[in-house]
A and B are shown apart, each in its own frame.
Chain A
């Protein structure tokens, strides 16, 4: 997992949302929230489909009027403004290129509307086209572009407007994996080169982790957790976040009298807190095949059920006695012994590497 690059944020909120919500009839798409977006940050709105992330993005862009609350951009209340009056630009999921205009005309359209002098318009357009590596494609029609190229045109068309906030709606999801990775690298480079505040919507946790300086995880119209990729991965606030961001093993148990009880647990574990049902969240990479010479806070007995080779690491499914399966990954080094399928063994991990969630 790559750590997101932290670009310099000035700590000034460029977008300020207060009590913002959106309902469609009785259906609440986005519950009331306060949310600030800092200048220079690269914010990911991450969540499964239908979680309200696109609704939030469209409210920022002016495509949906909020049911309650206000939005300020650069200190100005823009709640009642349409998209044409906001200094935000949105890269749409389907790109929304103008089919009857060339690549150059597409990119220059916004500048033309703003009545930019011809010379300046040409310069800006050229610079943007070369930034997204589309020099030589100026006179192509959108139908004659590949998915990746169309994506770049859409990006250039938004960026050329020098938006206060650039909004992106799942704009990489239509690309194949290879191209998506390339575009992610390019987006990161462009953000570093041009600066600016970016907000993007995605359901892909890898994309959010590789691009964003801050991630807001959303579920059912709520922002359930915000933080850096590392925060969220290591300290998920709920079972949902743990399962949605990265892979996680979740073992249900109970805490009583400062002791954790869970089936299959081979040793007594102490834990502070009130008595309640708990979930132990353990990332696959923190579990080890127990080394007999080491002490582990948590230990369990299981049987290797499957073993998959991924080049840099191996992934195992280990069956426990009570019919549950634990996933664990083992980074390969030549000295490691690799257990075989069917082998019975002990697995273990330490308390500081896992997260104990109280029942929701």
Chain B
């Protein structure tokens, strides 16, 4: 199952023009070609802006939501979580169409900002579920104690709750970022004329089968694996 991924990495370092064996001599040429392509830099910039924004926003909103949900009774909390998780159960294509019709209905011009909003819809459930699971084990008597000792609600969150769930929050942010960086379908529908790295790959595939696609694919692959690995490590370290 992993072999296509391995092939992409493999071809990206081979001098052969066509993605066939033998791959030829070991080379970094395709990376050079890629870095000379101005579209790559546009895509990279957009991807970075989107990934970081989604990471930050979905974590902030998701953590707030999770804090709210822990105050509910467990039956109600489960209903709310299921309702909020609907976007990840829907086929991405349907979600993308729904989002596009909302944006055009509201007359919102599409671009990087609409991609960020769209990504929030399906990354937040992950953050909510992860943070909520961590908060379930959190002893809220310590928050009450902090209030009792003179802390405002805000202060008690930053002094008491946050230090205890920080690794989980970072892990959740990284997972949201990995999902966001990877996404093609929803990005493709909601970005308008812009491009991100995944949509750039798609565009390059239509015009040429230049192995610099493989180079780009390899970069995206390692970025995603990197985020997920760090996220797993942090959340595992926590428990």
Contacts and interface: CB of A to CB of B under 8 A. Distances in A.
Interface of A: 61-63, 82-84, 88-90, 92-100, 109-110, 113-114, 154, 157-158, 161
Contact of B149 (A63, A93, A94, A109): A109
Contact of B139 (A82, A88, A99, A154): A99
A100 B149 contact: no
A96 B155 contact: no
A157 B149 contact: yes
Interface string B142-176: 11111111111001000110011000000000000
Contacts of B150: 84, 110, 113-114, 161
Nearest to A115: B150
B89 interface: no
7 closest A-B pairs (Cβ-Cβ)? Answer: A96-B141, A110-B149, A96-B145, A113-B150, A96-B142, A92-B141, A83-B148
B145 A98 contact: yes
Nearest to A98: B142
Interface residues of B, number: 18
B117 to A, nearest CB: 35
Contacts of A82: 147
A95 B146 contact: no
Contacts, number: 63
A84 B145 contact: no
Given A93-B141, A94-B141, A100 B147 contact: no
B148 A84 contact: yes
B141 A63 contact: no
A89 B148 contact: yes
Interface of B: 139, 141-152, 155, 159-160, 163-164
Nearest to A82: B147
A357 B149 CA distance: 46
B169 to A, nearest CB: 14
Nearest to B155: A113
B178 to A, nearest CB: 27
Contacts of A93: 141
Contacts of B144: 63, 83, 90, 92, 96
A93 B144 CA distance: 11
Contacts of B139: 94, 96, 99
A10 B10 CA distance: 87
17 contacts: A61-B148, A63-B144, A83-B147, A83-B148, A84-B148, A88-B148, A89-B148, A89-B149, A92-B144, A96-B141, A97-B145, A99-B139, A99-B164, A100-B164, A113-B151, A154-B145, A157-B149
B156 to A, nearest CB: 8
A142 to B, nearest CB: 9
Nearest to B143: A96
A113 B142 CA distance: 15
A83 B145 CA distance: 9
Contacts of A90: 144-145, 148
A25 to B, nearest CB: 13
A61 B160 CA distance: 20
